[in-house]
Amino acid sequence: MPEIIMPRLSDTMEEGTLAAWLKQPGDQVQRGDVLAEIETDKATMELEAFEEGVLQQILVKEGETVPIGQPIAIVGAGGASAPAAAPAQPAPDAAAPSPAEQAAKIETTPEVETSTAAAEAAAASAAVPAAAGEPVKASPMARAIARDQGIDLSTVTGSGPGGRVVKADVEALAAGDGGRAAPAAAPAAPAVKAPAAAQPAPGADVEEIPLTSMRKTVARRLVESMQSAPHFYLTIQVDVEALLGLRAELNQRLADEGVKLSVNDLLIKACAVTLRAHPDINVSWAGDKILRHRRVNVGIAVAVDGGLIVPVVRDTDQKSVSQISKDAKALIERARIGKLRPEDYTGGTFTISNLGMFGIDQFTAVINPPEAAILAVGTTNEEPVVRDGQLATRQRMKLTLSIDHRALDGATGAQFLAALKATLEEPLRILA
């Protein structure tokens, strides 16, 4: 009987968490059916069936985390479940697929919602709320909306397969449609809680917060970066008066197209133009060699629930600022709802981390390996300056470049920052 294994879904993934099973033992499975949702270090992805048959046995429970390559379920031709005590082996003529084959069947597909009233009514009539103590089955989109709206998913009756809460269920409750809300459950005997819902011991003054797969990966990679890459920091102050004026003018001209540029969009383009002119910064450390990249792919550090991820805007030196803005907004939105695809967060050659919107004047960022540099962007402040012997105020911003001293020298980084400053202070260069 073919085994379904935990596939590798990203270059940094070492384990995955079984977020939800959408099929149960005894269910008929067709090729392409979504069997489960898997939480990785980057996003929540849907696992599709690669074989037709019957889901005979689930080997990994919801909420459990297992390493890549470990069997998580068994699909067979018969209808009877395989004995739990005897792990099944692949039949001689039906070898288990490789991790690469399974990874090819994983994709982050948009959530499919019922569009007709008849189908919605049928789904609602079959909806069953989650029992007390059981984890709520919900799609990533539904979880994201519930989190934003402050809705407890345990109070929502799911209309999806097997009582799964989908986007429409949460939206209906948020809009005031009480028909989707589950009635309050009667007091029940204490249930055994899943590890993800661990509570502090009675009398304790601390709370244990289990690590998500993303947080584990962020912690490991940042420790590796700080321990292996000798960080070197360079800070420069930039007059952004002209940049802000250009942004206002462009937004006025692009208003009819629905485009609204941010300072970060202009920074991404400015960095791309400067990287093209200074290719020694657009490199990665590869142990016994340095890789100079021909493409300029700028990553954007994005804070999400449970960690940090860096989606990548590709070929930024060849795109217009308005296109960069559209691409960046789409990537950030997908990152925040856990819908990034592997190609969305791989292949970066340089990263920007902007905390200016939080009022942070200056900070140093940790390099995103194997890249050799990351730019930390502070807030814009109105500061007094002397111009032509006269005291005036100007909008100014501090930029700090962290570089990997194995791949770059201080002078190389300083030349890049000086060129970036010149571009930002004469921002028409961005559009040239």
Q: What is the largest CA-CA distance in the chain?
A: 88
Closest residue by Cα to residue 250 from 323, 316, 300: 323
What is each CA distance from 300 to 10, 52, 126, 163, in whole angstroms? 18, 41, 43, 37
Query: CB-based contacts of 239: which residues, under 8 Å, 6+ apart?
Result: 385, 394, 395, 396, 425
The one-letter code for the residue type at 54 is V
Structure-token pair, residue 75: 């699909």
Beta bridge partners, 377, equal: 354, 399
State the Cα–Cα distance between residues 309 and 333, nearest whole angstrom: 12
Candidate list 231, 278, 293, 405, residue with the active-site label: 405
| 151-170 burial code (b ≥16 CB/10 A, e <16) | bebbbbbbbbbebbbbbbbb
Angle at 196 between CA 190 and CA 202, to 5 degrees: 55
State the Cα–Cα distance between residues 281 and 407, nearest whole angstrom: 9
Tell me if residue 130 falls in helix, strand or coil: coil
| Catalytic status, residue 231 | no
Query: CB-based contacts of 93: which residues, under 8 Å, 6+ apart?
Result: none
Closest residue by Cα to residue 354 from 259, 267, 413, 232: 267
DSSP string, 275-300: HHH-TTTSEEE-SSSEEEPSS--EEE
Beta bridge partners, 5, equal: 71
94-100's contacts with Cβ under 8 Å and 24+ in sequence apart are 94/1, 94/2, 95/2, 96/2, 96/3, 96/5, 96/71, 97/2, 97/5, 97/50, 99/5, 99/7, 99/8, 99/68, 99/69, 100/8
Whether 300 contacts 268, CB under 8 Å: yes
Tell me if residue 385 falls in helix, strand or coil: strand
State the Cα–Cα distance between residues 72 and 86, nearest whole angstrom: 14
Name the helix (H) or strand (E) containing 232.
strand 231-239
Q: Catalytic residues, which ones?
A: 405
